[in-house]
Amino acid sequence: MLDILEFPDPRLRTKAKPVGVFDQALQDLIDAMFATMYAAPGIGLAATQVNVHKQLLVADVSEEKNQPLVLINPKILSREGSQVYQEGCLSVPGIFADVERADRIVVEALDRHGQPLAFAADGLQAVCIQHEMDHLIGKLFVDYLSPLKRELVRKKLEKAHRASA
């Protein structure tokens, strides 16, 4: 299992760099990210969250947890509509808040072997991909909250960290 960085850890603000090498180390990292995500349990995990600053995310929004998705160097080609979903994040444990995002997106990326892929996503999958792609540019879902609410989240997590230290 990989350690997951937690807000307000400044390393979560790092901008990830594109992946250029698809070697065994990358495959091992992807497998470890899936294991960590499924165990958490969560529906998405960005490399940033495990302190690896590469443009890589894993996700699985299926009920049966049998539709693993790997996106490398992802780009959103188009966005349509809007939806509000109550989001959480493995890097912001115990906090849930409504975030407005595009309802339907078209994504282009590379798969785990460097092969190009493009597809449309909507609903929860669209939310998840947008949320995880934010991590790759150092952005967290709490950034969409008001400064006051974000400060309350920060205090709550710091208190939780002290209690568990």
What is the SS3 assignment for 108?
Answer: strand
Nearer residue to Ni ion within complex by CB, 22 or 52? 52
Q: Return the ∠ at Cα 60 (arms to 1 and 20), rounded to 5°.
A: 70
Nearer residue to Ni ion within complex by CB, 40 or 118? 40
What's the closest the beta carbon of residue 4 comes to Ni ion, in angstroms?
9
In the block, residue with structure tokens 């493009």: 118
Q: Rounded to whole angstroms, how far apart are CA atoms 87 and 130?
A: 11
Nearer residue to Ni ion within complex by CB, 22 or 145? 145
Q: Where are the beta strands (DSSP E) in 39-82?
A: 44-46, 56-59, 69-80
Nearer residue to Ni ion within complex by CB, 89 or 126? 89
Asked if 107 is part of the footprint of Ni ion (rule: CB under 5 A), the reply reads no
Tokens (6 digits) for 76:
């959103």
DSSP H or E segment with residue 120: strand 116-122
Asked if 133 is part of the footprint of Ni ion (rule: CB under 5 A), the reply reads no
Q: Is 132 a catalytic residue?
A: yes
Asked if 50 is part of the footprint of Ni ion (rule: CB under 5 A), the reply reads no
If binding means CB under 5 A, how many residues of this protein chain bind Ni ion?
1
Query: Of residues 87, 132, 151, 158, which has the active-site annotation?
Result: 132
Stretch that binds Ni ion, among 11-19, 29-37, 67-75, 86-94 (CB under 5 A): 86-94
Name the residue number minimizing CB distance to Ni ion: 89
Stretch that binds Ni ion, among 3-11, 82-90, 108-116, 151-159 (CB under 5 A): 82-90
- Which class for 108: exposed (0-12), middle (13-18), buried (19 or more C-beta within 10 A)? middle
Asked if 95 is part of the footprint of Ni ion (rule: CB under 5 A), the reply reads no
Tokens (6 digits) for 124:
């929860």
Please list the residues that pair with 17 across neighbouring strands: 54
Binding site for Ni ion (CB under 5 A): 89
Active site residues: 132
